[in-house]
Structure formats: C-alpha cells, structure tokens
Amino acid sequence: MTHLSTAAQNFQESAIRRSGILGAAVPGLISLAAGYPAPDVFPWDDLAAITADLLAQRDGNTLQYGATRGYRPLIEQLIAKTLHDRAITAAFEDMVITTGSQQGLDLLGRVLIDPGDVILVELPTYSGAIAAFHNLQGQFAGVPQDSEGIDLVALEAAVTGIKAGGKTAKFIYVTPNFQNPAGLLMSRARRLALLEFARRHDLLILEDDPYGPVYFEDVTTAADTRPIKADDTDGRVIYLGSFSKVLVPGLRVAWLVAPREIAQRVELAKQATDICSSLFDQRIVHGAMDRGVVDRIAPGLRAHYQAKRSVMEQALQSSLAGRVKWTSPRGGFFLWIELPEGVDDRELFERALKARVSFVLGSAFFVDGQGHGFARLSFAGISHEQITEGIARLATAINSH
C-alpha cells in the first residue's frame, strides 16, 4: 500500500488478540490465552450504587470533558493513599491519568523514543509493550532473566553493544511484580542493583506494575513488592499503575508517575491523542476509592486468583508432570511453561486448537525471535472446571507430539 507511513506498514498485530480471534472460530474452546480478570470478583453492587449516585446528582461535569492530566480528586486520592501505601512520593505535577496503562506505554513511547532508539527489555516481556514501542519505531535489545529478575551482567553487555553500534539506549522496561508472561517476582536486591545500574549508565527505568497488589500466600511483607520507584532519589524511574486488575478493566483508568518534565510532555501527547480519559470512568473509580471498595475487595481477589493458580498447578502435576517445567507464580495471572524438548509453540498451537484449547505462543513475548519452547497460560478469567479441563486438553495436544 502506497499511502501508509513507514511506521504503519510495520505495525504489529497483538499476538494475544490474534490467538483470541483464532480461538473464537473453534466451538467449545477453552481459552488459556486471554489474561482477563474474573468477573466474579468485580464489585457489581458497589459500582451500580456509585454510578447511580453520580448520575442522580446531574452534575454536568460528570459527563463532560475533563482536564488532560486527569480528575484532580482522583489524583489526590492516589497520592494520599495508593502511592503512600507503596512508599512512593509524588506531587500532582508528576502524575497523569491514562486510558489504561497501555496508553501510558504508548504516550511514554511518544515522549521518549526517536526512530531507531534501543529499548532494553526482559526476555520474555509484555507483548503489549513490545507492540507500543515497536509501532513508534523503537528497536529492542532483549536481556535474559534468572530466578531473581533481569540479568545485570547480560544487561551491561547489551548496553555496551548498543553504544558500540552507535545507537542510543533509551530506557529499560521492566515488570518487577509477577511479570506478564513469566510470573516472576524480581528480588529486592536485584531491584536496587538495577536502579544503581541505571544511574551508572544514565538510563531511565519504566516500571510497569499492574499486578503488584495481586500477590499470593507466600508474599508476606510489603518489601517483597516494593516498587523500584520507592527508592528512586534522582528522578530516573517512571512508574505505571492500573485499576484494571484490582477493580475492573472496563473502566479504562490507569496512572503514571514520572519526572515532572516527562509528565508534562506526556500531558501534551495525551492532549493530541484523546483530550482526556473518560471523566465518568474516573469519577466512578474515585467513588470506589472513596468508599473503600478497592481495599475491601483486595483480599478476596487475591484468594480467588491464588486458588485458581493452585488448581492449574494441580492439573499440570497430574497430566504433564515431567513433560513441562514451570516456576510457581507468587502472584499475578499467569503460569509460564517450558514445553518438552522439540515441541514448537506454533505447531503446538495448531494441535491445541484441534483439542479445543488455546494459549499464547511463548515467542510472542520475545524480541529476539526466540521463545518457541514456551507457552503462556492464564488461570485468571476462567472457572476451576475450565482450568482442569483446559489443561487436560493441552496435555492431549502435547502428548500427541
């Protein structure tokens, strides 16, 4: 096509959405692909009451355009409560409300990436971040992880390589809490060492944290999930939080904390993108915070996902033990499995669809063309029965290899 921009010609389709589309054509399919939150834990009655109250007030502002930065009372609540709980200090000027963290990633990309700049990411990393930065013509350097998180020796080598190639390393994108897809929790020591590394190389860190509050039984202290941002003394870390996993994803409300001049540029980029995030959505979220709904549902939500994680692990134990490998996730929505030797994710996907189950290809989360020996399974949005049956079907597909 001749009229498309170079960037648009190279836009990438989301692998997660793609597997959803392929799966939708299969009757009776169980999707282990979608990482959607469970509607069972949505606070339906609270949201109904808050919404009814808001509309009954007939305050025109509720359904009006709002400030690009976001609804001020919501930002003030975030500062006083959420950021305070996470040991992060920020002022109004450091924050922007975004239409999901996905928009935050896109806006930050617009503000920080020049075509050809290199972004350092974990192997694997969140495919939505890959898509956002790729579409802005960023390039990638993938850095392996060990059990504690991103490998700093490999990171050093990657930065050296980028500089030697005459390119600019712009920032390091990480998801330290229960990463999507690998479920990994970065250790506290590694977080601090990463911050020190970023200082030494004058790099920014983009810390994406939608899953931090969704921790399981063995995460017992706040220190385990303490954001890197909490220890950032020189304005080097940009932090993204979201209501998608702790309230509902359908109200597209998320937020970011950034050094002031970056937040201000993000505001300008957002003006041109959507003027403001839905004020109605923001006011509903504000109402939910105000009435303590987010805090009240949090324990039930953790128990809900933890139980599903255990059901999935039991199912894997009984039908695929010794065939696939995984590390038990300590929070979040995902179980990341290493496939048996010789099994390729693309080929397995075809066989899985025949067995009426889907997953996301491991390779969708790798920026270096690797990852074909992995699959991402989500236990979040489906029932215990569906998890058990889905894993049984996946075992059929794997064992027919």
Ligand X SMILES: Cc1ncc(COP(=O)(O)O)c(C=O)c1O
Q: Which of residues 354-393 bind ligand X (CB under 6 A)?
A: none
Among 23, 35, 149, 362, binds ligand X (CB under 6 A): 35
Q: How far is the CB of 321 from ligand X (least distance, A)?
A: 28
Q: Which ranges in 39-94 belong to alpha helices (H)?
A: 44-56, 72-77, 84-85
The residue (of 66 and 210) whose beta carbon lies closer to ligand X is: 210
Is residue 102 within 8 Å of residue 129, measured between CB atoms?
no
User: How are the residues of the chain apportioned to helix, strand and coil, as percentages rounded to the nearest 5?
Assistant: 50, 15, 35
Which residue lies nearer to ligand X by CB, 35 or 371?
Answer: 35
* Closer of 105 and 162 to ligand X (Cβ): 105
Q: Quick one: tokens of 304?
A: 């809900």
CA distances from 283 to 125, 164, 290, 296 (A): 32, 49, 10, 18
Q: Which is nearer to ligand X, 274 or 389 (CB)?
A: 274
- Cβ proximity to ligand X: between 244 and 358 the closer is 244
DSSP secondary structure letter of residue 178: S
CA dihedral 152, 153, 154, 157 (to 10 degrees): 120
CB of 27 to ligand X, least distance (A): 26
**Residue showing the smallest CB distance to ligand X in the complex:** 100
Q: How far is the CB of 35 from ligand X (least distance, A)?
A: 5
Question: Is the Cβ of residue 82 or residue 319 nearer to ligand X in the bound state?
Answer: 82
Binding mask 45-84 for ligand X (x = CB under 6 A): ----------------------------------------
Q: CB-wise, 363 or 388, nearer to ligand X? A: 363
For residues 21 and 157, which CB has a smaller minimum distance to ligand X in the complex? 21
Distances (CA, A) of 53 to 4, 196, 277: 46, 48, 21
> CB of 23 within 8 A of CB of 33?
yes
Q: Are 372 and 300 in contact (CB under 8 A)?
A: no
Got the DSSP string for 374-390?
A: EEEEE-SSS-HHHHHHH
- Nearest distance, CB of residue 249 and ligand X, angstroms: 5
Which positions from 243 to 262 touch ligand X by CB under 6 A, shown as an x/- string?
Answer: -x----x----x--------
Identify the residue among 176, 210, 329, 371 touching ligand X (CB under 6 A).
Answer: 210
- State the binding string over 169-208 for ligand X (x if CB under 6 A, else -): ------x----x---------------------------x
Q: Which is nearer to ligand X, 35 or 343 (CB)?
A: 35
Cβ–Cβ under 8 Å, residues 229 and 88:
yes
Residue 261 in contact with residue 112, Cβ under 8 Å? no
Would you say 176 and 230 are in contact if contact means Cβ atoms under 8 Å apart? Answer: no
Beta carbon nearer to ligand X, 162 or 184 = 184
Q: Which of residues 93-112 bind ligand X (CB under 6 A)?
A: 100-102
Q: Which of 19, 242, 278, 319 binds ligand X (CB under 6 A)?
A: 242
Give the x-and-dash track for 127-156 against ligand X (CB under 6 A): -x----------------------------
Cis amide linkage into residue 329, ω under 30° from 0:
no
Residues in Cβ contact with 37 at an 8 Å cutoff, skipping those fewer than 6 apart: 244, 245, 248, 249, 333, 380, 381
Cβ burial of 210 (10 Å; 0-12, 13-18, 19+) is buried
Q: Which stretch binds ligand X (CB under 6 A): 241-249, 265-273, 303-311, 349-357?
A: 241-249
Shortest spacing between CB 214 and ligand X, in angstroms: 11
What is the token pair recorded at 311? 């059901």
Please give the sequence-ordered ranges of beta strands (E in DSSP) within 87-132, or none if there are none. Answer: 95-98, 118-123
* Residue 210 C-beta: closest distance to ligand X, Å: 5
Rounded to the nearest whole angstrom, what is the least distance from the CB of residue 36 to ligand X in the complex?
9
Size of the site for ligand X (CB under 6 A): 14
Tell the residue number behind the tokens 């939608």, with chain if given: 210
Which residues contact ligand X (rule: CB under 6 A)? Answer: 35, 100-102, 126, 128, 175, 180, 208, 210, 242, 244, 249, 254
